[in-house]
């Protein structure tokens, strides 16, 4: 059987975030805003997890917020980028002197792939992932891994970018080359969750519009946040001046009140791990309550 096509350059993802690690928190405005909106959604969920995993934790901004919400839980952070984890560890060491509630709280940080985490099955009550999935070649194996780790009744909550993200940038180049990540539709995420055995998946999306003073400011923001294109089919060589000038001119046509728009489609999803319907050897599991038979 032929190996599946590879779309995302994993090593380039690592390089992008390694370069961005030292300045990431200065420019990660969208990441913080989306994380805050995810936290608000937890207001409507009844769950008291003993262990929480932040998958794709970056420098760990969400770990602090999750600790405030679930002070009794063990928090674990996992990310592909070791430089991002190191920066986060240094920042949290400084924060402990300013924020007393963080003292004594040292969440384990794990450098690992989202599809192969060194954690035991059924060990996580809440698996949280903020804007990580679009950096994977295929989200389906990561969902399978999440299903393996979650305890029965555990919750998966995630956000990622949808297909309209950076649509202005794609249109402005218009040269047949790839200049942004490939973004998956929310309906496809819902189908993947069901395929992996999750119950009651809920998907929705919203569109945010960022504005920039110039085309170069947008590109600089993407580079400094580690969000530059990491697709295998991206243009590898240097682009000529004429290509840059044409793209800049095309983008400038979109200006409103002296600002250039950049669309961000945010996809949100959550789903529960239900009781298994089949055993490991494929046999159907039938459950019954003896109390019900006596009524």
- The model's confidence at residue 275, banded by pLDDT at 50, 70 and 90, is confident
Q: H-helix or E-strand containing 266?
A: strand 260-273
- The model's confidence at residue 1, banded by pLDDT at 50, 70 and 90, is very low
> Model confidence over 129-183: pLDDT tens digits?
999 999 999 999 999 999 999 999 999 999 999 999 999 999 998 866 788 999 9
Distance, in Å, from the CA atom of 142 to the CA atom of 122, rounded to the nearest integer, reads 15
Output 66 or 105, whichever has higher pLDDT. Answer: 66
The pLDDT of residue 91 = 76
The pLDDT of residue 178 = 86
Q: In this structure, what token pair is assigned to residue 81?
A: 């980028």
80 phi/psi in degrees, rounded to 5: -75, -30
Whether the CB-CB separation of 159 and 208 falls below 8 Å is answered with: no
- The model's confidence at residue 289, banded by pLDDT at 50, 70 and 90, is low
144 phi/psi in degrees, rounded to 5: -65, -40
The pLDDT of residue 114 = 97
Residues 6+ apart with CB under 8 A from 285: 275, 276, 277, 278, 279
The stretch 204-218 carries a mean pLDDT of 97
Cα 34–Cα 127–Cα 72 angle in degrees, nearest 5: 100
CATH of the domain spanning 10-162+183-207+267-275, picked from 3.40.50.150, 3.40.190.10, 3.30.450.40, 3.90.45.10: 3.40.50.150
| 109-111 vs 150-161, strand pairing mode | unpaired
Whether the CB-CB separation of 214 and 140 falls below 8 Å is answered with: no
The stretch 39-47 carries a mean pLDDT of 94
Q: How far is CA 231 from CA 7, 10, 28, 66, 228, in A?
A: 6, 9, 21, 31, 9
């Amino acid at each position: 059987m032929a190996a599946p096509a590879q779309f995302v350059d994993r090593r380039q993802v690592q390089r992008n975030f390694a370069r961005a690690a030292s300045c990431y928190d200065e420019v990660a405005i969208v990441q913080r805003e989306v994380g805050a909106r995810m936290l608000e959604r937890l207001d409507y969920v009844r769950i008291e997890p003993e262990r929480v995993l932040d998958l794709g934790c970056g420098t760990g901004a969400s770990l602090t917020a999750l600790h405030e919400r679930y002070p009794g839980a063990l928090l674990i952070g996992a990310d592909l980028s070791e430089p991002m984890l190191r920066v986060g560890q240094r920042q949290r060491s400084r924060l402990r002197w300013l924020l007393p509630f963080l003292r004594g709280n040292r969440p384990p940080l794990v450098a690992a792939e989202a599809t192969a985490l060194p954690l035991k099955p059924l060990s996580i009550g809440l698996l949280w992932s903020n804007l990580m999935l679009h950096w994977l070649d295929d989200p389906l194996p990561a969902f399978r891994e999440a299903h393996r780790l979650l305890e029965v009744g555990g919750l998966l909550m995630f956000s990622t970018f949808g297909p309209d993200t950076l649509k202005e940038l794609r249109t402005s180049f218009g040269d047949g080359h790839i200049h942004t990540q490939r973004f998956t539709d929310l309906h496809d995420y819902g189908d993947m969750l069901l395929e992996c055995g999750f119950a009651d998946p809920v998907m929705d999306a919203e569109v945010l519009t960022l504005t920039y003073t110039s085309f170069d400011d947008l590109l600089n923001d993407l580079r400094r946040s580690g969000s530059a294109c990491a697709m295998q089919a991206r243009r590898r060589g240097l682009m000529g001046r004429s290509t840059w000038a044409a793209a800049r001119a095309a983008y400038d046509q979109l200006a409103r009140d002296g600002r250039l728009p950049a669309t961000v489609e945010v996809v949100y999803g959550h789903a529960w791990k239900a009781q298994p319907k089949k055993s490991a050897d494929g046999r159907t599991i039938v459950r019954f309550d003896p109390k019900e038979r006596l009524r």
